Structure formats: C-alpha cells, structure tokens
C-alpha cells in the first residue's frame, strides 16, 4: 500500500513515519510536507534512504500537485499547530488546516481511498470536571482549535455525504523527541539548559493530558489499519497534570542529569501574562480506543519525560539550529508583548 503522509517532517509525522516503516515494511510512504518553520528533514535523516520512503516538498492546498500524485490512502498530519501563533495570525491556520484538509478529502473522494485525519482534543474546548467522549459537542476556543474543529466537521460531512472512508482521531498533548521547541516541554528543557527565563502562563494551573508521541503513533497505526469508517477515536494518556507540576518535574530531572542545582533552575520560572482564551483544562476519555481497538498507552510519564530530556540533552545541535533561525523572531514578537506578573 502506498500511503501519502502529509506533514511528515514535523514532530508527530516524523515519529509516525519512523514507526510505520519499521512496523509495516510492506508499506510505501510518500511524505508530502511544505517545510514551514516547523518542518525539518533532519527529523527523518535515519530513514531517508530507505527504498520504501520518498519525500516530496509541497503544499496540501495545491490541488494540481495532489491530483498528480499516486497513492492508496492518506494520513493527514499537515497543520499549523501552535496555539500562540494562531493568536498572532490565524490566516495560515485557516488556509492549511481547513482548505488543505478539504483538498485532501476531495482527493480521497476521487480515488475512493481511506483518509485518516489526525486531530486534537482541543476541538472539545475546556471542561471543569469529567472527560469528553467522542460524542461531546465541539467548543473550540482558539483560532487553532477552531480551524481543527472545522476540518473535523468537514471530514465527518464527507463521510455522511459521500460515504468517504474517513477516520478522525483526537489526541491529547504529545511530548517526545523532535518536538519543535516552542511547545511547553521542549521549551522548558532548553531554557533550563541555556539558563533562560521559563515563561509560565497565568497561574500555571491549567491542566493538560500528556501522552508520549510513540503511544500516539501506535494508536494511529491501529486506527488506520483497523478503525471503522466514519468513526472518531479519542487518544489520551490518562495523565492529566498542571503545567506548573510539569515544569517543576522537568527542572528536577534536568538538575539531576546535568549536575545543576534544582533551586537555581527553579529560579528561572517566570509567571507571565496569561494566553488570551487559555483553556483551563483538557480531558478526554480514551476508553473507546481501549475497548474497541485494544490500544492503550504504554509509556509511563516518569520514564517518557526522562527519555525526552535525555534526547534533548544529546541532540543540542538539532535544537540549537532551530532556535538560531526564524524562530528567534517569533519568540521576540510573542514574548516581547508579555509582561511579568
């Protein structure tokens, strides 16, 4: 089977391709990625010469390009993925996340092939108590999550209207190797290493459910191979934590691993003005994945975080190149506006 993987040079896509090529060597992977600021071919260095892997630089919004490609299924990771960026400028989010997805849905319709659309728990919005199931209403609160919710609804509409073979997955916050260092966990690690202030939004008590990226990739593999057409599957880590707890846990581990003093690293924590529209708590119920498809997360948070820190400590050239590029400009724009509380 020839699988068109879109956004495969990003964080989750690159981890997925590596997993897929080893779990299913019979599959051919065509990785289509625009290589935005978040796309990085270094993420795929160790598999780029495999005969069943091919990279194409291109945009999922490009109708002609997609039409000219040959494939038997699509797994759509391509997206603008960072909430803070969507607050600064939502246009690329609407373009890629909505129009790009619609273009891929059309391509699947014409070819009559399966499409797995990779989405997020953020489409459900914030919940004070309890957890969202696949039947919960969508109440997105950021331009990012609104664009993902739109694409989910389009995917569902293509199933209802055209009988398209579509599967939607909604996963909670991922962490692990190759995550772009604007997201919380890699940001805390590299700021600790570099002795930079660690911005914690608001009171630091917002809650996210965290899952290791490899557990997400395995769930996607199962949903793609065995999922039922038209179904939505929540994927979660059963691991809800306050942001400030994560930050402190990371600093403790970085201190242990680098011989630095934990107190000195804790002194870097800087409470900053809250993110506008900041969702207080995300919580999803992943029991459908567990009961129906027999998947459950395997990585403990303690080990997953520890391995992730090791990876960032061992791969400083990877993130040093990133933080010396375009990202620096974004970071100044973003945090220049944020005052200490």
Residues that bind ligand TYD (CB under 6 A): 83, 173, 183-184, 187, 199-201, 206, 208, 243, 275
Find which of ligand NAD, ligand TYD, none residue 221 binds, CB within 5 to 8 Å per kind. Answer: none
- Based on CB atoms, which residue is closest to ligand TYD, 58 or 199? 199
Stretch that binds ligand NAD, among 32-40, 130-138, 255-263, 326-334 (CB under 6 A): 32-40
DSSP states along 222-285 = HHHHHPPTT-EEEE--S-EEEHHHHHHHHHHHHHHHHT--HHHHHTTEEEEPPPTT--SB--B-
Q: How many residues does the chain have?
A: 341
Phi/psi at 231 (5° precision): -90, 155
- Among ligand TYD, ligand NAD, none, what does residue 184 contact (CB within 5–8 Å per kind)? ligand TYD
Residue 102 near which of ligand TYD, ligand NAD, none (CB within 5-8 Å, type-dependent): none
Q: How would you classify the pairing of strands 173-175 and 166-171?
A: unpaired
Q: Tell me: does residue 118 bind ligand NAD (CB under 6 A).
A: yes
Query: Does 144 participate in catalysis according to the annotation?
Result: yes
DSSP 324: T
Any idea which residue has 């010469």 for tokens? 49
* 309 contact, one of ligand TYD, ligand NAD, none, CB 5-8 Å limit per kind: none
289 binds ligand NAD (CB under 6 A): no
CB 111 within 8 A of CB 165: no
| Secondary structure string (H, E, C) spanning 89-114 | CCHHHHHHHHHHHHHHHHHHHHHCCE
Q: Say which DSSP state 138 is in.
A: P
By the rule CB under 6 A, 206 interacts with ligand NAD: no
CA distance 35 to 143: 21
Whether 122 is a known active-site residue: answer yes
- Given 53, 124, 144, 282, the catalytic residue: 144
* Contacted entry of ligand TYD, ligand NAD, none for residue 10, CB cut-off 5 to 8 Å set by kind: ligand NAD
142-181 residues in contact with ligand NAD (CB under 6 A) are 148, 171, 173-174, 180
Q: Is 25 exposed, middle or buried (0-12, 13-18, 19+ CB in 10 A)?
A: exposed
| Residue 255 beta carbon to ligand NAD: minimum distance, rounded to whole angstroms | 25
SS3 call for 136: coil
Choose, by CB under 6 A, the member of 3, 4, 5, 10 that binds ligand NAD.
10
- Residue, CB closest to ligand NAD: 10
Active site residue 121: yes
Binding site for ligand NAD (CB under 6 A): 6-7, 9-13, 32-36, 38-39, 59-61, 77-81, 96, 100, 118, 120, 148, 171, 173-174, 180
Q: Catalytic residue numbers?
A: 121-122, 144
């Amino acid at each position: 089977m020839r699988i068109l993987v879109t956004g495969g040079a990003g964080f989750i896509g690159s981890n997925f391709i590596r997993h897929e090529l080893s779990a299913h060597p019979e599959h051919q992977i065509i990785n289509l990625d625009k290589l935005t600021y978040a796309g990085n071919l270094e993420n795929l260095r160790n598999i780029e010469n495999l005969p069943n892997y091919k990279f194409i630089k291109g945009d999922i919004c490009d109708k002609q390009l997609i039409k000219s490609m040959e494939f038997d299924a699509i797994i759509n990771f391509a997206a603008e993925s960072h909430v803070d960026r969507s607050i600064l400028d939502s246009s690329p989010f609407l373009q890629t996340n909505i129009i790009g997805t619609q273009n891929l849905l059309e391509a699947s319709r014409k070819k009559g092939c399966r499409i797995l659309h990779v989405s997020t728990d953020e489409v459900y919005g914030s919940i004070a108590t309890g957890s969202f199931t696949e039947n919960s209403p969508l109440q997105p609160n950021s331009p990012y999550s609104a664009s993902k919710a739109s694409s989910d609804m389009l995917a569902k509409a293509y199933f209802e209207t055209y009988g398209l073979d579509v599967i939607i997955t909604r996963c909670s916050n991922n962490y692990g190797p190759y995550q772009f260092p604007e997201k919380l966990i890699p940001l805390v690690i590299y700021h600790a290493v570099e002795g930079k202030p660690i911005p914690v939004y608001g009171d630091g008590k917002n809650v996210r459910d965290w899952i290791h990226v490899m557990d997400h990739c395995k769930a996607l593999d199962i949903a793609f191979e065995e999922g039922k057409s038209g179904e939505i599957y929540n994927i979660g880590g059963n691991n809800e934590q306050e942001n400030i707890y994560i930050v402190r846990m990371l600093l403790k581990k970085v201190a242990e691993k680098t011989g630095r003093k934990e107190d000195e690293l804790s002194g870097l924590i800087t409470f900053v003005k809250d993110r506008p529209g900041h969702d207080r708590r995300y919580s999803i119920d992943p029991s459908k994945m567990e009961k129906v498809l027999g998947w459950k997360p395997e990585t403990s948070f303690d080990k997953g975080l520890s391995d992730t820190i090791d990876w960032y400590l061992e791969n400083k050239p990877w993130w040093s190149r990133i933080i010396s590029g375009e990202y620096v400009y974004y970071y100044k724009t973003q945090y220049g506006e944020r005052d200490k509380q």
